[in-house]
C-alpha cells in the first residue's frame, strides 16, 4: 500500500494493529497453559477474551473507513511473541517463567497502547469520532491489562521468582 495521505497512514497502521491482535489471540492460549500462577492464568484468559472483542471493534473501524479488514505483517509483534515463546521453551523454573511471561505480556501491552493512542489521535484529526471511540475502548482494555500484570508481578510473582 502506498501511503500518500493521513488516511492512508491511518489505514496502514490499523492493518498493523489488526495483524498484531490476531497474532496475540493465537499466542495467548499457550501462555495460559504454561502459566504456573492461577491468577496469571486468569488474567491471560480474560485478556484473550478481551482481544476477541478488540478484533471485532477493529473490524468496525475498518468499516467506518470503508476498507476491507485485513492485516499487514507486524515485525514488532512478531519479535515480541518470538521472544515470549523462547522464554516459554527455555525457562524451566515455573515461578521464573511466570515472571518472564509477565514481562513479555507487558511488552505486548505497551506496543498496543502506543498504536491505539496514535490511531485515536489520527481518527479524531480525520473527523472520525466514532472510530476514535471504538479505539479508545481497546486502549482502556490494554491499559487495564498492563496494570493488572504489574499488580500480579509486584504482588507475588516476582517475589516467588526471586526466591
53-80 confidence digits (pLDDT tens):
999 999 999 999 999 999 999 999 999 9
The mean pLDDT value for 108-126 works out to 97
Given a cut of 80, is residue 134 above it in pLDDT? Answer: yes
Q: Per mean pLDDT, which range of 22-26, 82-86, 124-128 is the poorest?
A: 82-86
Residue of higher predicted confidence among 106 and 88: 106
Task: Walk me through the domains of the chain, giving residue ranges and CATH numbers.
Answer: 6-162 (1.20.1260.10)
Given a cut of 80, is residue 1 above it in pLDDT? Answer: no
Reported for 43-51, long-range contacts at CB under 8 A and 24+ positions apart, including other chains, are: 43/145, 43/148, 43/149, 43/152, 44/101, 44/105, 47/105, 47/141, 47/145, 50/141, 50/145, 51/21, 51/24, 51/25
Amino acid at each position: 500500500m502506498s501511503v500518500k495521505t493521513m488516511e492512508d497512514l491511518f489505514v496502514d497502521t490499523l492493518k498493523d494493529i489488526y495483524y498484531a491482535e490476531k497474532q496475540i489471540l493465537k499466542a495467548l492460549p499457550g501462555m495460559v497453559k504454561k502459566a504456573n500462577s492461577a491468577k496469571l492464568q486468569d488474567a491471560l484468559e480474560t485478556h484473550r477474551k478481551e482481544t476477541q472483542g478488540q478484533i471485532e471493534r477493529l473490524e468496525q473501524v475498518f468499516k467506518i473507513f470503508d476498507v476491507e479488514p485485513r492485516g499487514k505483517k507486524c515485525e514488532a509483534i512478531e519479535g515480541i511473541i518470538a521472544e515470549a515463546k523462547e522464554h516459554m521453551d527455555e525457562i524451566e523454573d515455573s515461578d521464573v517463567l511466570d515472571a518472564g511471561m509477565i514481562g513479555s505480556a507487558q511488552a505486548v501491552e505497551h506496543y498496543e497502547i502506543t498504536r491505539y493512542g496514535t490511531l485515536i489521535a489520527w481518527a479524531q484529526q480525520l473527523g472520525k469520532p466514532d472510530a476514535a471511540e471504538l479505539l479508545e475502548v481497546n486502549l482502556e482494555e490494554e491499559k487495564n491489562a498492563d496494570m493488572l500484570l504489574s499488580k500480579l508481578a509486584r504482588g507475588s510473582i516476582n517475589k516467588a521468582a526471586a526466591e
